[in-house]
């Protein structure tokens, strides 16, 4: 992902609020699969107790950690726990180049406009609940509220998904301030369809429209405190009115978020291009997807993110500076593709279905397979659930199998696979009649072999008998193949000829009960000559086809 890095120095202090508007999609934040555990530093989010998984992203604490390689106090951008950990930079302290080349793959860094007359901010009196905040130019002095950059990184590992955020402001801050990150469903495209009008006069379509279900994550560090308190709120309303309500603390004991701020300076070489950072000018947080998307089973997505500063940690206080939105894609949605045994498979054989789950992280939910005997998928004849998902493979996908199913009746079977949600992943399901989701079971083709009686003299009887083989049980799985065998005699003729014009005898039907011999039947011709027998089996659908011998078969004259 292209990192957007530009130096634009600005000021302010702490407490950061991440507004997360359950948004649509515009650009992608790639998630780099890594191991679920192994980062030796304790400064990573562990949301395992609430089903959110274990992050490997370092949110460096204010208290020294003996496993750290660096000497920073509090938040920083460099690797302190070793190669199994993740941070904004791929370098350890002191070994960076001070440029964006050090940034971890997938990190997005968005700069603010340079301070001064060209900078933008919100007008006085603008609050968090404003759905169309008015933008002014050049009204923010270089003080505590002046922003510099923000960063976004999506982490996906085998145990969970996490949103990692940072904010930075200009050096020498003069007081405290809150920082707000807002993510929206649909990224603002510069039109009224997706953006609010942010101009005092005329039009300025810069800020995405807000939607019901958006999230507000507050990051607050009390004056003199060392550990941020992170809470989450939900937007109740629509694009023109509403408010944030129902705040819940998600850090601390609940364990769904972890935050930190820098209490010592960050050297320019360690800043991935942010420049030297004074104490209290850089903050970071890791948030479990469970906190963002919940566990209700719905599929959600956020499509843009932007940073705002608020004058204090009083929620109703006015907004100050902001950094324009950056398109992203953050989602807990999963995809499901399947591939069933196509067939045809002869009755008595087995069929199966295989499902591939994409976009998932550490799936712990249940994969359920259903096979239906009708094209409307209303008559289920097989159902099985499994929590055994194999993966991830090289593409990050997980697979599950239905195991073998042996149908009792020939026909076409239609599969549906579904994945139930878990704390990190939304549910997914295939649809009836999806491609590659039908299996054909073919009936058996029985064999019939006949044996005519020996040649005889005129006035004596001729006879025939049949042996039936390779029949199938009826769909109840118990009853042998039924139906009947009928013998016909044709002639006399010098060469095989079996038509209605020379049919001289038709036997009564012999009832069939599975494989075995049937007959004999006999007839006394009234004319000397050569006669030809044909034996016909009716079959017993759906599982056993019909069968007949041919005119002139060996042993049938």
The verdict on residue 453 lying in a domain is: yes
Range of the domain at 474: 447-548
Distance in angstroms (rounded) separating the CA atoms of residues 376 and 181: 47
489 and 539 part of one domain: yes
pLDDT on residue 111:
96
CATH number at residue 420: 2.60.40.3930
Q: Within a domain: residue 9? A: no
Separation between Cα atoms, residue 382 and residue 373, nearest integer Å: 9
Residue 5 in any domain: the answer is no
Greater pLDDT, 247 or 370: 370
Distance set, CA 51 to CA 161, 296, 492 (Å): 11, 13, 85
The last residue of one of the domains, among 413, 442, 471, is: 442
| Domain annotation covers residue 482 | yes
pLDDT tens column, 465-508: 999 999 999 999 999 999 999 999 999 999 999 999 999 999 99
- Report residue 9 as tokens: 């120095």
CA-based R_g, the chain, Å: 37
pLDDT at 159: 80
What is the structure's pLDDT at 223?
61
Question: Does residue 182 form part of some domain?
Answer: yes
Q: pLDDT tens digits for 76-132?
A: 999 988 778 999 999 999 999 999 999 999 999 999 998 877 788 888 888 888 888
- CA atoms of 117 and 120, how far apart (whole Å): 8
Length of the chain: 557
For 48, other C-beta atoms within 10 Å of its C-beta total 18
Give, as one character, the DSSP assignment of residue 205. E
Helix (H) or strand (E) holding 291: helix 289-293
Among residues of the chain, what percentage have pLDDT more than 70? Answer: 88
Residue 311, domain member (yes or no): yes
Judge if 482 and 376 occupy the same domain: no
pLDDT (0 to 100) of residue 219: 82
End-to-end CA distance of the chain: 82
3-class DSSP assignment, residue 556: coil
Model confidence band, residue 141 (pLDDT cutoffs 50, 70, 90): low
Alpha carbon distance 60, 65 (integer Å): 9
Task: Provide the token pair at 72.
Answer: 């920073």
Question: Has residue 88 been placed in a domain?
Answer: yes
Q: How far apart are CA 332 and CA 538, in angstroms?
A: 57
Instruction: Tell whether the model's pLDDT for residue 69 goes beyond 50.
Output: no
Residues 370 and 293 in one domain: no
- What does the pLDDT read at residue 501? 93
Q: Are 136 and 123 in contact (CB under 8 A)?
A: yes
Sign of the Cα torsion 192, 194, 196, 199 reads negative
Mean pLDDT of 418-440: 91
493 CB-contact burial (10 Å; exposed 0-12 / middle 13-18 / buried 19+)? middle
Residue 273: pLDDT above 80? yes
Q: Are residues 411 and 516 in the same domain?
A: no
CB 168 within 8 A of CB 6: no
Q: Are the beta carbons of 250 and 277 closer than 8 angstroms?
A: no
pLDDT given at position 28 = 38
Look at residue 168 and tell me whether its pLDDT is greater than 70.
yes
Dihedral sign, Cα of residue 167, residue 170, residue 175, residue 177: negative
Residues 500 and 416 in one domain: no
Conformational region of residue 228, where left means phi above 0, alpha means psi within -120 to 50, and beta covers everything else: beta
Considering the domain architecture, whether residues 278 and 409 belong to the same structural domain is answered as no
pLDDT the model gives residue 227: 76
Indicate the pLDDT class of residue 38, thresholds 50, 70 and 90.
low
Find the mean pLDDT for residues 254-278.
Answer: 93
CATH code of 508's domain: 2.60.40
Average pLDDT, the chain: 85
Count of other CB atoms within 10 angstroms of residue 202: 6
For the chain, the domain total comes to 3
Taken in order 70, 75, 78, 84, the sign of the CA dihedral is positive
Q: What is the tens place of the pLDDT at every residue in 221-242? A: 766 566 788 888 888 899 899 9
The mean pLDDT of 41-65, rounded to a whole number, is 76
Q: Are residues 264 and 396 in the same domain?
A: no
Alpha carbon dihedral 176, 182, 187, 191, in 10-degree steps, equals -60
Where is pLDDT greater, at 384 or 309? 384
Same domain, 282 and 353: no
Last residue of a domain, one of 418, 442, 466: 442
Whether residue 536 is found in the same domain as residue 438 = no
CA distance 453 to 455: 7
Structure tokens at 200: 């005092």
Domain boundary among 390, 409, 442: 442
The answer to the question of residue 191 being in a domain is: yes
Which has the higher per-residue pLDDT, 263 or 19?
Answer: 263
How far apart, in whole angstroms, are the C-alpha atoms of residue 232 and residue 20?
A: 9
pLDDT beyond 90 at 369: yes
């Amino acid at each position: 992902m292209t990192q957007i890095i530009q130096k634009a120095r600005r000021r302010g202090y702490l407490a950061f609020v991440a507004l997360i508007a359950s948004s649509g999609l515009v650009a992608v934040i790639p998630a780099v699969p890594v191991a679920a555990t192994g980062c030796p530093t304790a400064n990573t989010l562990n949301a395992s107790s609430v089903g959110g998984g274990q992050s490997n992203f370092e949110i460096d604490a204010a208290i020294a950690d003996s496993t750290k390689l660096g000497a920073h106090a509090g938040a920083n951008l460099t690797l302190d726990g070793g190669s199994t950990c993740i941070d904004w930079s791929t370098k350890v302290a002191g070994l960076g180049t001070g440029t964006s080349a050090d940034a971890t793959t997938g990190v997005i860094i968005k700069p603010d406009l340079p301070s001064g007359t060209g900078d933008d901010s919100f007008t006085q009196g603008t609050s968090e609940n404003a759905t169309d905040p008015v933008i002014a130019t050049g009204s923010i002095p270089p003080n505590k509220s002046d922003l510099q950059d923000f960063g976004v990184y999506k982490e996906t590992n085998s145990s969970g998904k996490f949103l990692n955020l940072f904010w930075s402001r200009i050096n020498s801050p003069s007081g405290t301030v809150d920082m707000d990150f807002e993510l929206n469903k649909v990224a603002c495209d510069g039109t009224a369809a997706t953006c609010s009008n942010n101009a005092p006069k005329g039009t300025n379509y810069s800020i995405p429209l807000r939607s019901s279900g958006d999230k507000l994550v507050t990051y607050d560090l009390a004056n003199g405190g060392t550990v941020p308190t992170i809470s989450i709120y939900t937007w109740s309303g629509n694009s023109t009115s509403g408010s944030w309500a129902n705040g819940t603390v998600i850090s601390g004991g609940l364990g769904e978020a972890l935050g930190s701020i820098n209490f010592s300076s960050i050297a320019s070489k360690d800043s991935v291009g942010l420049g030297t950072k004074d104490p209290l000018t850089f903050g970071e947080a890791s948030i479990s997807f469970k906190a963002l998307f919940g566990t209700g089973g719905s599929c959600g997505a956020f499509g843009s993110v932007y940073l705002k500063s608020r004058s204090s940690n009083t929620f109703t206080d006015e907004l100050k500076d902001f950094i324009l939105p950056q398109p992203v894609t953050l989602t807990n949605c999963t995809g499901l593709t399947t591939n069933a045994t196509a067939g045809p498979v002869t009755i008595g054989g087995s069929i199966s279905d295989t499902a591939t789950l994409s976009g998932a992280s550490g799936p712990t939910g249940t994969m359920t397979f259903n096979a239906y005997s009708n094209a409307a998928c209303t008559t289920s004849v097989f159902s099985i659930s499994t929590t055994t998902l194999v993966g991830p493979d090289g593409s990050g996908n997980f697979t599950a199998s239905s195991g073998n199913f042996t149908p009792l009746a020939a026909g076409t079977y239609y599969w549906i696979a579904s994945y139930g949600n878990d704390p990190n992943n939304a549910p997914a399901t295939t649809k009836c009649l999806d491609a590659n989701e039908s299996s054909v079971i073919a009936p058996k083709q029985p064999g019939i072999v006949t044996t005519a009686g020996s040649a005889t003299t005129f006035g004596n009887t001729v006879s025939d008998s049949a042996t039936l083989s390779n029949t199938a049980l009826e769909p109840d799985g118990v009853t042998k193949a039924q139906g009947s065998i009928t013998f016909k005699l044709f002639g006399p003729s010098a060469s095989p000829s079996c038509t209605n014009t020379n049919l001289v005898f038709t036997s009564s039907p012999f009832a069939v009960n599975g494989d075995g011999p049937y007959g004999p039947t006999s007839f006394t011709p009234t004319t000397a000559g050569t006669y030809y027998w044909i034996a016909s089996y009716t079959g017993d659908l759906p599982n056993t086809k019909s069968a007949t011998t041919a005119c002139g078969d060996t042993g049938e004259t």
